[in-house]
Structure 1
């Protein structure tokens, strides 16, 4: 596929952070962590207000223009529009249980950060460097080396990070298996999970785990994932159609008060968060049975391990919270083949996780069957050829910005939609193959 067929622009975007004070005045603009210097042309910026993530904007900075002035003007417009927009029911619930101000917040619980990895030492080192400067007062770092072919990861952790990072080896391939192994080795009251291709904001772990100290019924917290770079058209296209971001409004998902705006709840697990930025109360994850080892990257199921865990924890009666203050920067794969693999994997992971949920929690079958007609319609809409934004004009530049969940800034190729649907058909088969292979016997799975 070439860039013209993709519908995505060929020029790279700069990725930046724009700082505003509470009055809206701009106080700073700098490249995002790990991103190159800000260049003229299109700039994608995270907007922070008084240090807190609040929005994203994209603006074109022409030669001779002041980038901070251009982006600050766009930021004030977006923040004003967001303030005027009506809240969903789940957002009202989240706003009704606000976190205490930072100064008054109780100390976050003892936390174990678990990073599963396989043969990516350079990427892992970048992630670990960011995790070692977290402002969380009491945490440990655990690296799970999943089905290694070389000693590269072992050598990196035991030499460069000796005494600061624990190394655990898991020879059975699969992300869920690795996560279960890491959880078994960890000693934290809270278990936080992220990937080896992120850079964590210094406040990430504190923001992700503080809610557990104020809500004993909370089982899971997820956070904001933004792109570390937008250097290729594949990266820009993915981010323009939501990427991994879930927006900036707080959300609280409570099984005792299902959100009216999500009729498929709790089976719309993709809206809750993503595996690169999630934390669980250890006792809640154990009660829910842990991750299903027959799901996830590295298994025939191709994905769905995080989605399965979200639904399992909610089904066990715990609440799930999303907060944009827990931020990681994700290095998206940068080629078209990567994007094709992701499209297929997303589809497969979706139906694999649903299959896993019914296999391990058959009592949920009536609820799923009740929601199935809407679910099929939702799946078709999700994988349809995208390109019309809120104004109905395909790809005219007024349909949102990369990083805004669900925005449709560039047309979505039909072949990617077909791959997602093919993945959906394959997902249950992949899950069955993984269970037949025996992965489900690992880590105490039923």
Structure 2
């Protein structure tokens, strides 16, 4: 569990240099085998959660097939699908050029789907991406290299637009997009970032479409909060909450711009409107989840509220200074409105997912070998 301890004298402990009394709960849980910087590349499980987007998913898998990395598998989690199209397509494509497993769940929600993937068993490193991206050939190599540092518990990467053709796509980039720049950055309580909102402005760390964790650590903290994430009433925040927990747990989070993916932005304005509101709601849900799971974070969070508001409202802030004169002000206000609804959405999401868990462990179907004709594996049939 993530905790935050306040030093008895009100001063940061000298060995950690934590910002404003925040201290890690324990030293990172690091296997002895990671003590050697030069070693075999870590085994990686790539998790792709999907729902009713079979053509886009197949493009993502095609880009993964071109990855220059010696040891990885892919696990597709079909989140409450309305048809069997995805499973049929994966079976038709077997054998795949990498080990591929498929599992379906009847419970919607991105965070829940990611937790199902953890239950299915993963390799040393688990990397998450979306079903609407194309990964760079060296994406996994950059992630594996970053994890050669035994203090690193999470790696995020650069997310570029796959295309910039419509006003909606340009406006998403103007509002900050998914990129966090081209400079490698390391975040930890031992070396706090200069931003006054650190470590709660977790959006600066990266995005859930391009993130990787040590599987042992992620399982040890119970995975992602299922009451957050796309597909839940909270609409998002699962990635931000996980990033925060990594840092507060004493590990380092590395933003590695060499780990590149290209994301297909929404082309239409209506989709961007929904996205802006959802991002704000997800941010509010993430902050609520952080305090819900660890009330001691409320004090440090309140102390950062003023600079956080400046970041949200100031025209010259990192978030707003890229907006051109034609940027629709409606998008800005929709995001702020979503932020206000975030705590209520998180409470509704907690109610929806009460008592829900991925146990017993889901059974994944392997598609790295040709599949027999007839009924689908696992006793299911096409709908």
Q: How would you bin the TM-score normalised by the shorter chain?
A: 0.7 to 0.9
Tell whether the 8 Å contact from 1:116 to 1:179 is kept in structure 2 after alignment.
yes
Native 8 Å contact 1:112 1:139 kept in 2: yes
1:171-216 deviation digits (Å, cap 9, x = unpaired): 1110000011112213211000000000111100110121112x11
Q: 1:276 aligns with which of 209, 220, 223?
A: 209
Root-mean-square deviation (CA, aligned residues, Å) is 2.1
Aligned to 1:42: none
Query: 2:26: which partner in 1?
Result: none
Distance 1:406 1:302 in 2: 26
Offset of residue 373 of structure 1: 2.5
Instruction: Give 1:224's aligned residue.
Output: 158
**1:335-374 map, 5 Å:** 335-374=268-307
Q: Which segment is superposed worse, 337-346 or 157-166?
A: 157-166
> Which residue in the other structure is 2:184 paired with?
250
- Per the alignment, in what secondary structure is the counterpart of residue 312 of structure 1? helix
**What SS class does the counterpart of residue 113 from structure 2 fall into?**
helix
Name 1:10's counterpart in structure 2. none
Q: 1:327 aligns with which of 260, 264, 271?
A: 260
Tell me how many residue pairs correspond in the alignment: 321
Q: Pick from 306, 318, 329 the counterpart of residue 251 of structure 2.
A: 318
Compute the displacement of 1:157 (Å). Answer: 1.6
2:334 matched to which residue of 1? 419
CA contact (8 A) 2:146 2:256 kept: no
The structure-2 alpha-carbon separation of the partners of 1:443 and 1:363, relative to structure 1 and needing over 3 Å to count, comes to: farther
Q: Does the Cα contact within 8 Å between 1:340 and 1:419 map onto a contact in 2?
A: yes
- Secondary structure of the residue aligned to 1:148 is coil
1:147 lines up with 2:80 in the alignment: yes
> How far apart are the structure 2 equivalents of 1:439 and 1:118?
22
The secondary structure found in structure 2 opposite 1:442 is coil
The structure 2 residue matched to 1:428, chosen from 314, 339, 343, is 343
Q: Do structure 1's residue 195 and structure 2's residue 110 form an aligned pair?
A: no
Within 5 Å, give how 1:33-432 maps onto structure 2.
106-162=39-95, 164-213=99-148, 215-259=149-193, 261-381=194-314, 407-432=322-347
Task: Describe the SS at the equivalent of 1:135.
Answer: coil
Which whole-Å deviations, capped at 9, do the CAs of 1:98-137 have from their partners, x for residues lacking one?
xxxxxx9643211100000000000000000011221111
Work out the CA distance in 2 between the residues paired with 1:313 and 1:410. 38
User: Structure 1, unaligned stretches of length 5 or more?
Assistant: 1-103, 391-403
Q: Give the 3-state SS of the residue equivalent to 2:212 in structure 1.
A: strand
Once the two structures are superposed, residues 207-247 of structure 1 have per-residue CA deviations (whole angstroms, 9 ceiling, x without a partner) of 0121112x112110000000111111111111133211111
- 1:351-376 deviations in whole A, cap 9, x for unaligned? 10011111112232222122223223
More displaced, 232-241 or 280-289? 280-289
Relative distance call for 1:153 and 1:389 in structure 2 (3 A) is: same
Q: Is the 8 A contact 1:288 1:316 kept in 2?
A: no
Asked if 2 retains the 8 angstrom alpha-carbon contact of 1:293 and 1:439, the reply is no
Shift, 1:409, TM fit: 4.2
Q: How much does 1:379 deviate?
A: 2.7
TM-score, length basis structure 2? 0.79
Partner of 1:21: none
TM-score, normalising length: structure 1: 0.69
Unaligned runs of 5+ in 2: 1-36, 360-383
The structure showing larger relative contact order (alpha-carbon pairs under 8 Å, at least 6 residues apart) is 2
> Structure 2 CA distance, aligned partners of 1:167 and 1:410?
46
Q: Give the distance between the partners of 1:204 and 1:173, measured in 2 at CA.
A: 28
Change (3 A) 1:105 1:200: farther
Distance (whole Å) between structure 1 residues aligned to residue 64 and residue 217 of structure 2: 24
Compare the two structures and name the one with the higher strand fraction: 1
